[in-house]
Amino acid sequence: MGRRVVALASEDKTLQLVAAIENDQHPLLGQDAGDLAGVETMDVPLSSKWPNDADVVIDFSLPEAIDRCIEKCELHETALVVATTGMTDAQVERLNEASESIPIVWAPSMSLAVNLSMKLAQQITEKLLDVPGGLDIEIIERHHRYKADAPSGTALKFGDLIAEKLGDDTKHVHGREGHTGQRTRNEIGYHAVRVGDNPGEHTIVFGMLGERIELNVAASSRDCYAAGALAAAKWLSDKPEGMYDMFDVLEM
Ligand SMILES: NC(=O)C1=CN([C@@H]2O[C@H](COP(=O)(O)OP(=O)(O)OC[C@H]3O[C@@H](n4cnc5c(N)ncnc54)[C@H](OP(=O)(O)O)[C@@H]3O)[C@@H](O)[C@H]2O)C=CC1
Ligand SMILES: O=C(O)C1=N[C@H](C(=O)O)C[C@H](O)C1
């Protein structure tokens, strides 16, 4: 994702890349970020040193890297866009704490289509809540074989937003195996598929007796996330401290 953020930023004259940060063991440290991204040379070497002149930091990394990122953004009073998924509850708490002093956009998907689909999923759930025979909701996500966390952060957010409409007793069930017994009414099922180079696809199945709706949103490249993150960074640059998400950025 870092490479695509750099590549799209290089095409936008309103943005200036001041740093490209990696861990201190990375074999490509010192090489130019633009060269690595396959665009023009940008005179920004890949580095593990934190910049002190950034307006906004965009984080697509790993949960292991997020603590340092939060700490440095607080120290330098830098706005922060967090796209990384798979954070622990303690890290989410830490992020919320940091939002008391710096502006943060945090979203498991920076994609316009995904965020719009989240709103649609909530609307569909609301409309079908009392459908005769009952409603079963399952979330199937598909991603590339390299993905480190499951289910995706996006699938979990779809589930949380749907659960807001279903009610407090919603159970989140991850996969099924063995003698599971009949499906209960108040559960959301999650299924994570890992195949090839899939850049991300989510299908929300709303199953009823006699018919079903499948809401499918699929990326055809990872640029939807990179473009969303850059839009979030621009939007955030003049905002006061606080926790924001892509619904705020996209005014949904
Ligand atoms: N919100 C959204 O729209 C999207 C979110 N994501 C999320 O973004 C994250 C990154 O995804 P992706 O780019 O595919 O994953 P990658 O594993 O390709 O990239 C993660 C990068 O972070 C680097 N890294 C590891 N440790 C540190 C550290 N301590 N400091 C700085 N950098 C570090 C890794 O380096 P190394 O190679 O050395 O490990 C690697 O280059 C994932 O959590 C993914 O789920 C992805 C796409 C969209
Ligand atoms: O790792 C990925 O690739 C993606 N991760 C995010 C997630 O976990 O939801 C967003 C997107 O689906 C791509």
Please give the helix or strand (H or E) that residue 121 lies within, else none.
helix 112-128
Task: Give the whole-angstrom CA distance, residue 97 versus residue 93.
Answer: 6
Nearest CA to ligand 2 atom 5: 152
Task: Provide the edge-to-edge strand list for the sheet that holds 136-143.
Answer: 171-174, 187-194, 136-143, 201-207, 212-218
Encode pLDDT of 210-223 as tens digits.
999 999 999 999 99
Residue 144 is predicted with a pLDDT of: 98
Nearest CA to ligand 2 atom 8: 152
Region 85-103 average pLDDT: 97
State yes or no: pLDDT of 203 exceeds 90: yes
Ligand 2, residues 62, 109, 156, 161: which to mutate, most atoms within 8 A of Cβ? 109
Global pTM reads 0.96
Region 63-70 average pLDDT: 96
Main-chain phi, psi angles of 244, to 5 degrees: -125, 165
Residue 52's pLDDT band (cuts 50, 70, 90): confident
**Phi-psi category of 175—alpha, beta or left, where left has phi over 0 and alpha has psi -120 to 50?**
left
Region 2-12 average pLDDT: 98
Rg (CA), the chain: 20
Q: Does 180 carry a binding-site annotation?
A: no
Region 68-78 average pLDDT: 97
Ligand 1, residues 61, 112, 250: which to mutate, most atoms within 8 A of Cβ? 61
Region 121-146 average pLDDT: 97
Alpha carbon distances (Å) from 194 to 145, 148, 176: 5, 10, 17
State yes or no: pLDDT of 199 exceeds 90: yes
CA of 101 relative to ligand 2 center, distance in Å:
27
Please give the helix or strand (H or E) that residue 35 lies within, else none.
helix 33-37
Residue 123's pLDDT band (cuts 50, 70, 90): very high
CA of 33 relative to ligand 1 center, distance in Å:
15
Residue 41's pLDDT band (cuts 50, 70, 90): very high
Residue 223 is predicted with a pLDDT of: 98
State yes or no: pLDDT of 196 exceeds 90: yes
What percentage of the chain exceeds 70 in pLDDT? 100
State yes or no: pLDDT of 24 exceeds 90: yes
ipTM, two decimals: 0.95
